Structure 1
Amino acid sequence: MTSAHPSDAQLQALYGAYLDGWNRRSGAAVAACFADDGDIIGYDGTHHHGRLAIAAHLRQIFGSHQTAAYIAVVRSVRAMAPGVALLVAHAGMIPPGAGDVEAQFHTVHTVVAVDEGGGRWRIQLLQATPAAWHQHPEARDALTEELRGLLASP
């Protein structure tokens, strides 16, 4: 991971809170990570604008689907402008009832975060992009092994 941001710990904690909320299947917890006018673009391209819309959408998803859990590796955190940061992570998904990541569902999470004042960071945009790496199966396989290593860690 590369890190060149003075608020690295806060930004990684923000992303961790997003993952935790998702893994607990809590639309409110996920939405709490977002700015009031934040956006989320899901793995399938679905786009929701605003914290309340994000919460409502995720409540519906979590209430009607068994969602996979995320495990992730933050690759970089860097400044884009004063009070704006970019976090990039590679994430794997563990299907319900499974104990391993499914390589076909790897994703790149791109997070643009804003400092709302006093070091209180919120997600302005989170985009999940499928990480199929059709031309580079060795990269997909390496990520699968890296994520499996995180699962095996105490």
Structure 2
Amino acid sequence: MNKRMFQTPGEQATNEREVRALYSKLLESWDKRDAKAFAALFNEDGESIGFDGSQLIGQAEIFSTLKDIFDHHPTPPYIYKIKNVRFLQPDVATLRAIVGMVPPGKTEIDPALNSIQTIVATRHNGEWCIASLQNTPAQLHGRPELVQQMTEELREVSEHAQ
């Protein structure tokens, strides 16, 4: 009952790697258009708030909605850069990343599709799962230089991945 509320540096490094890997698996499942694998990374009652503001609650709804999207729409893969991982408690972490996409038939990242993604990850029985995914469009209204800066940062990630 008296649970430790801190992590040793080694534990924190391991946990951070695991949370980063969880997020990478999430985007890999999107890139593979695998709704089942995507939904399975969430807690049973996890939630996903999409780029358009849609709210999906629970693995079943996340799966069925994504399956429909993947079945009927082309979805470009993500280019991403994890900006930080923060532990609120040893078994609760947030991860923030910037993401972009190259639309089908195009060769450049479309800045209109850039977003900031945040996950809240929780660990139960030694396994990290996503409690919440928030996908916020990075329009940065009135600050085109920040949109350009984010797009350039993602372009660099994309070039190094090739």
Scaled by the length of structure 2, the TM-score of the pair is: 0.88
- State the match for 1:125 in structure 2: 132
- State the match for 2:18 in structure 1: 10
Are residue 30 (structure 1) and residue 38 (structure 2) matched? yes
Once superposed, what is the RMSD of the aligned Cα atoms? 1.3
> 1:47-82 deviations in whole A, cap 9, x for unaligned?
011111101110000001011211111111001123
CA drift at 1:34:
0.7
In structure 2, runs of 5+ residues without a counterpart are 1-8
- State the match for 1:91 in structure 2: 99
Checking the alignment, whether the CA contact within 8 Å between 1:70 and 1:92 is kept in structure 2 is yes
- State the match for 1:48 in structure 2: 56
Are residue 111 (structure 1) and residue 116 (structure 2) matched? no
Q: Percent identity?
A: 37
In structure 1, runs of 5+ residues without a counterpart are none
Q: Secondary structure at the match of 1:141?
A: helix
Q: Which has the higher helix share?
A: 2
Q: 2:147 aligns with which of 135, 140, 147?
A: 140
Checking the alignment, whether the CA contact within 8 Å between 1:19 and 1:70 is kept in structure 2 is yes
Are residue 151 (structure 1) and residue 158 (structure 2) matched? yes
Checking the alignment, whether the CA contact within 8 Å between 1:69 and 1:96 is kept in structure 2 is no
Q: For residues 105 and 131 of structure 2, what CA distance do their matches in structure 1 show?
A: 32
Q: Give the aligned length.
A: 150
CA drift at 1:97:
2.7
Q: Secondary structure at the match of 2:105?
A: coil
Are residue 68 (structure 1) and residue 73 (structure 2) matched? no
Structure number with larger C-alpha Rg: 2
Scaled by the length of structure 1, the TM-score of the pair is: 0.92
Checking the alignment, whether the CA contact within 8 Å between 1:39 and 1:124 is kept in structure 2 is yes
